[in-house]
């Protein structure tokens, strides 16, 4: 898996510490007196240093393997969700993607586990809650997390053998990397082809993954920017235009040079004894000797001598106005990131420049109309040895490109001269305090992923863990020098030395890519032919190699896997502890409160659902809910700007959020429920202020403000600018959701607010908003006011169905109950002044609000290089006895049919099946799929395959095989069912979906007790449903490039107008 660019993270999250799972008392697992001492050698590892970090309630131990030079960090903490990660410094020598392809091939078999694809084969043999591999810009890491001690040992053994002793077979290289092969191996060349080579294409999982990745305009901008900033650090993911230059021998050589203990950084985390880890690691490294490793740390180009400007071509964004297609950013080089104290201060300063609607950069760049949103590289990046700060915009007109630098520098100069607001600094420091108290279930994995980048680039992980020391150093410096932050801005940003990178919109970009690939394909075919006496022999050999690979892939399905370690279904407990929840009505008896009392480190968590009644919302209003929720945290009130409200949110809470929630009934999949969800948390003493802010934002937001319309236009433009990248990144989810909308009421209303329908609506709204006198925007403003009034009246009167969930410590219940009563009373007082708009009813135009009819087979064309497929059909409710067998069948289809057929053989990056009883659907999907026609055939045949394999006692799979597949599927299901939850998420299944402990317990028993007879029943039902030709309940959606040369007839597939393609060429 390609690691997403670090710079894409929102700006505040870069400053605020990751959530910390804290305990009230230090446990023995972190007691230094019970841990190894400095200088002690255990299993070849010498302890170099150790340190207790009280603010994180952990102890860190740094070991050095004397024989190989491997570095090992153990983080001891009272947390049963143990984590392991091994990583290597992998500077890419070129843009062929060799680190990325090697990451894939490494996991395809090893000396101890010589089976095909042990990584995926281990998934159904484990109860892990996280298992993956990442290729970042200059390192590769292999992490997993599990709460089961034996599972930890099993996965650790597989990961160590895979990375240090992989088989690296040529067949795995051509499967995962790239190869020449017939597009559809089982079909003859097209009858109208001019050459027998016409059906030969580039194939390979990573090749197709990166074609999809490079379709993401944000990713493309970031990669092209990095190529200019650090030319010596090549594209680790791989540029498809260069990937076909990589050879098998180069892959082997890269592994030999980089995947060695001398180049390794290993981390373990959790409550398991470090001595056990040392023993395992000592055995794994025993056969290696220390070698000289090139672990060069790549640094940015020198900017001495003045400003540099670079341009690169990029695609047209069909969601954006044609005259606002430029993306441009300015970058400065800051100090060395090894200076943790200065880096922390710079993070504070740059966050204050960028974060929030009230920030100087947002106001001068986006609110002013210069651009639609920040570029993906915007922010302060400390992942390398040299700090990098960038600010940029997408959706810029050509005329404004040259103005951007002056505006940015003027903004920085004004801030530096006038000074930063000290209360804003206090707000960020408060966020840090909350970060140390807020509990999450993924602390260990978050910690590992925070430490690894810096560790590979010269940053001491002990310095990165010394949180209190860093904060106290900053506080002392800031107290002694009131202009400390402003001085840093002047030192690093008010200078001439900078890099301006601009991506120029090029109308022919997509066609140029296609033409380049076709030219390169012809050249590679010619190279292959030149090695043989004749073209016919060369093409026969290409087809023979493809057939051999397919045969090997088929053999892998039936391969004996006894060498792989495994947990058993019996390791899944039949009973599971549930949080002790209680319900209580408020004093006036009209709001039901779900209480969960637990240690929360002094925090209180609040959630509320304001439900909509059946048919209460028109389609027009529902389409506007996402925009309405965003607007609540953008517009401000009559008395306060949003910037002032944001400051209070940061100073008193961990954040406020407003979201849309939909679910079907656990009793009836055809019964849909929807509503607005409010959420917030705060320190206990700030709970009254938290409620005051919630009330203010929800009820006092001023949609009549003179600036409100412009702010709504900003939000629409920002959403439109990110929509294409969201579809490129998560296209399978969009396709699946569109298909599901045709089979389930809950799925349909969800798709309207978070799917293709919402994208189409935002695209059309963005186009309508370009006109300053647009009646459509006037109507939208009235509809937003109407939504606010509806919610206000729900809080004012009977509050039917309004419910609240509160999580806090037992000693804070009375205080929280009183604060909630006051909040509800204040909402009544505020809501009394709000009424439904007395204006005549307004309607969004038919063109703007038009909904798709969710055809049985929908083709959704976008300018992507690949496709995504979604299929859906209805299934029974959560409590139905058929629901559990469908969930098991989905896992069997994923791992026994779809993954091997569509990913391994078809070259798609991913494929799977999902049973979603709370959404009322059973679905299948593909992700970054180069051959949608073939995949549609595989998916359409899934029912017949299931019936043949599982559907009768005389099926092709024996009863023992079917039982084994069922048990493996159960393991996969319970990885999610039993995954650790944060204290804030306890009881949310009950609160949001109405699933109580008894329902959940019965569901657990149903899943554990699924047997072959039940699987045969749902396999037959699936087969019948997929094969039905009349009144079919099956829905399809294909999103992306479509079917290329195999376009189905218009009668089969309905082309759904995305409302975006034509705009790019107007």
**CA distance linking residue 529 with residue 322, whole number of Å:** 44
Pick from 63, 191, 72, 169: nearest CA to 114: 169
Active site residue 176: yes
What DSSP letter does each residue of 486-501 carry, written as one string? Answer: HHHHHHHTSSS--EEE
Residue 97: exposed, middle, or buried by beta-carbon count in 10 A (0-12, 13-18, 19+)?
A: buried
Pick from 170, 244, 209, 204: nearest CA to 904: 204
Residues in a beta bridge with 421: none
**CA distance linking residue 970 with residue 957, whole number of Å:** 18
- The CA distances from residue 108 to 165, 315, 456, in Å, are 11, 35, 25
Residues in a beta bridge with 823: none
Tell me the CB-side half-sphere exposure of residue 68, using CA atoms within 13 A.
26
**CA distance linking residue 130 with residue 441, whole number of Å:** 11
Pick from 23, 58, 93: nearest CA to 245: 93
**CA distance linking residue 882 with residue 876, whole number of Å:** 7
77, 58 in Cβ contact below 8 A? yes
**CA distance linking residue 655 with residue 48, whole number of Å:** 41
Distance between start and end Cα atoms, the chain:
37
Q: How far, rounded to the nearest angstrom, does the alpha carbon of residue 342 sit from its chain's CA centroid? A: 30
23, 15 in Cβ contact below 8 A? no
φ, ψ of residue 432 in degrees (nearest 5): -65, -40
528, 255 in Cβ contact below 8 A? no
* Catalytic residue (choose from 57, 71, 176, 674): 176
**CA distance linking residue 220 with residue 91, whole number of Å:** 20
Structure tokens at 485: 């932050």
Residues in a beta bridge with 328: 393, 502
3-state secondary structure 897-915: HHHHHHHHHCCCCEEEEEE
**CA distance linking residue 1065 with residue 50, whole number of Å:** 62
φ, ψ of residue 443 in degrees (nearest 5): -55, -45
* Catalytic residue (choose from 57, 103, 486, 674): 103
Q: Which residues contact 1051 (CB under 8 A, 6 or more apart)?
A: none
950, 1012 in Cβ contact below 8 A? yes
**CA distance linking residue 471 with residue 759, whole number of Å:** 43
**CA distance linking residue 882 with residue 893, whole number of Å:** 17
Q: Which helix (H) or strand (E) holds 202?
A: strand 200-203
Residue 574: exposed, middle, or buried by beta-carbon count in 10 A (0-12, 13-18, 19+)?
A: exposed
Structure tokens at 675: 């509503």
Provide the annotated active-site residues.
103, 176
């Amino acid at each position: 898996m390609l690691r997403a660019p670090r710079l894409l993270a929102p700006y505040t999250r870069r400053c605020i510490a990751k959530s910390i799972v804290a305990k009230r008392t230090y446990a023995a697992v972190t007691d230094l007196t019970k841990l190894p001492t400095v200088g002690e050698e255990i299993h070849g590892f010498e302890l170099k240093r150790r340190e207790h970090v009280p603010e994180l309630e952990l102890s860190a131990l740094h070991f050095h393997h004397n024989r190989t030079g491997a570095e090992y960090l153990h983080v001891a903490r009272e947390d049963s969700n143990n984590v392991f990660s091994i990583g290597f410094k992998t500077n890419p020598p070129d843009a062929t993607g060799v680190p990325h392809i090697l990451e894939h091939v490494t996991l395809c078999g090893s000396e101890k586990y010589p089976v095909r694809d042990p990584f995926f084969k281990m998934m159904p043999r484990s109860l892990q809650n996280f298992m993956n591999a990442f290729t970042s810009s200059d390192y590769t890491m292999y992490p997993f997390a599990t709460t089961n001690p034996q599972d930890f040992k099993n996965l650790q053994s597989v990961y160590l053998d895979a990375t240090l002793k992989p088989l690296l077979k040529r067949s795995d290289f051509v499967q995962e990397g790239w190869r020449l092969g017939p597009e559809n191996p089982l079909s003859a060349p097209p009858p109208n082809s001019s050459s027998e080579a016409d059906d030969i294409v580039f194939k390979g999982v990573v090749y197709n993954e990166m074609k999809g990745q490079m379709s993401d305009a944000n990713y493309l901008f970031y990669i092209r920017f990095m190529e200019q900033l650090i030319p010596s650090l090549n594209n680790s993911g791989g540029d498809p235009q260069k990937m076909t230059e990589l050879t098998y021998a180069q892959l082997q050589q890269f592994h030999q040079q980089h995947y060695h203990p001398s180049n390794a950084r290993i981390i373990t985390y959790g409550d398991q004894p470090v001595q056990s880890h040392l023993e395992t690691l000592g055995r794994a490294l025993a056969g290696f000797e220390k070698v000289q490793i090139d672990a060069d740390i790549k640094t940015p180009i020198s900017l001495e001598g003045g400003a540099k400007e670079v341009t690169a071509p990029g695609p047209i964004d069909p969601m954006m106005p044609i005259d606002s297609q430029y993306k441009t950013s300015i970058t400065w080089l800051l100090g060395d990131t090894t200076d943790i104290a200065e880096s922390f201060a710079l993070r504070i300063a740059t966050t204050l420049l960028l974060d929030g609607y009230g920030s100087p950069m947002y106001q001068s760049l986006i609110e002013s109309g210069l651009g639609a949103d920040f570029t993906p590289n915007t922010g302060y990046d400390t992942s390398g040895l040299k700090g990098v700060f960038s600010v940029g915009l997408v959706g810029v007109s050509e005329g404004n490109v040259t103005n951007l630098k002056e505006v940015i520098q003027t903004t920085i100069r004004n801030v530096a001269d006038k000074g930063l607001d000290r209360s804003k600094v206090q707000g960020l420091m408060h966020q840090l305090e909350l970060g140390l108290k807020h509990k999450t279930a993924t602390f260990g994995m978050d910690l590992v992923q925070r430490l690894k980048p810096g560790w590979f680039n010269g940053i001491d992980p002990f310095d990165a863990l010394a949180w209190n020391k860093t904060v106290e150093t900053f506080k002392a410096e800031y107290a002694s020098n009131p202009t400390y932050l402003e001085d840093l801005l002047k030192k690093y940003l008010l200078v001439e030395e900078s890099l301006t990178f601009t991506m120029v919109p090029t109308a022919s970009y997509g066609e140029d890519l296609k033409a380049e690939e076709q030219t390169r394909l012809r050249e590679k075919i010619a190279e292959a032919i030149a090695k043989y006496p004749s073209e016919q022999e060369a093409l026969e050999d290409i087809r023979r190699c493809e057939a051999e690979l397919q045969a090997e892939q088929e053999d892998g399905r039936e391969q004996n896997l006894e060498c792989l370690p495994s947990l058993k279904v019996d390791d899944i407990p039949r009973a599971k502890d549930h949080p002790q929840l209680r319900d209580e009505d408020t004093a006036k008896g009209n709001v039901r409160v779900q209480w969960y009392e637990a240690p929360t480190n002094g925090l209180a968590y609040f959630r509320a659902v304001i439900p909509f009644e059946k048919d209460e919302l028109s389609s027009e209003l529902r389409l506007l809910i996402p925009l309405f929720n965003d607007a609540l945290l953008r517009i401000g009130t009559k008395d306060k700007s949003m910037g002032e409200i944001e400051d209070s949110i940061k100073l008193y809470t961990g954040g406020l959020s407003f979201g849309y929630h939909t679910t079907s009934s656990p009793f009836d999949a055809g019964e849909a429920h929807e509503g607005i969800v409010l959420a917030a948390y705060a320190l206990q003493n700030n709970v009254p202020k938290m409620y005051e802010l919630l009330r203010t934002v929800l009820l006092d937001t001023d949609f009549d403000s003179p600036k409100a319309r412009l702010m709504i236009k900003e939000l629409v433009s920002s959403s439109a600018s990110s929509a294409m990248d969201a579809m490129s990144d998560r296209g399978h989810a969009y396709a699946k959701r569109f298909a599901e909308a045709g089979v389930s009421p809950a799925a349909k209303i969800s798709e309207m607010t978070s799917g293709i329908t919402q994208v189409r609506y935002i695209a059309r709204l963005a186009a309508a908003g370009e006109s300053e006198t647009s009646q459509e925007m006037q109507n939208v403003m009235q509809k937003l006011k109407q939504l606010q009034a509806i919610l206000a009246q729900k809080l004012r009167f009977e509050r039917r169905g309004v419910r609240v969930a509160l999580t806090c410590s037992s000693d804070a219940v009375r205080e929280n109950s009183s604060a909630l009563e006051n909040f509800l009373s204040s909402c009544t007082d505020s809501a009394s002044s709000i009424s439904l708009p007395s204006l005549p009813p307004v309607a969004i135009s038919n063109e703007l609000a038009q909904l798709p009819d969710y055809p049985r087979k929908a083709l959704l064309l976008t300018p992507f290089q690949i496709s995504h497929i979604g299929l859906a059909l209805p299934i029974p409710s959560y409590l139905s006895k058929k629901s559990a067998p469908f969930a098991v069948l989905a896992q069997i289809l994923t791992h026994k049919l779809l993954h091997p057929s569509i990913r391994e053989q078809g070259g798609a990056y991913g494929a799977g099946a999902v049973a979603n009883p709370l959404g009322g659907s059973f679905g299948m999907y593909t992700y970054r799929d180069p051959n949608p026609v073939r995949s549609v055939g595989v998916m359409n045949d899934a029912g017949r395959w299931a019936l043949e394999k599982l559907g009768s006692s005389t099926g092709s799979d024996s009863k023992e095989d079917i039982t084994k597949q069922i048990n493996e599927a159960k393991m996969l299901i319970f990885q999610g069912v039993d995954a650790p939850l944060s204290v804030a998420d306890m009881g949310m299944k009950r609160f949001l979906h109405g699933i109580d402990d008894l329902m959940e317990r019965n569901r657990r028993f149903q899943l554990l007790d699924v047997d072959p007879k039940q699987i045969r029943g749902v396999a037959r039902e699936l087969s019948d449903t997929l094969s039905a030709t009349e009144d079919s309940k099956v829905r399809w959606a294909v999103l992306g490039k479509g079917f290329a040369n195999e376009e189905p007839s218009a009668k089969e597939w309905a082309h759904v107008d995305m409302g975006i393609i034509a705009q790019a060429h107007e």
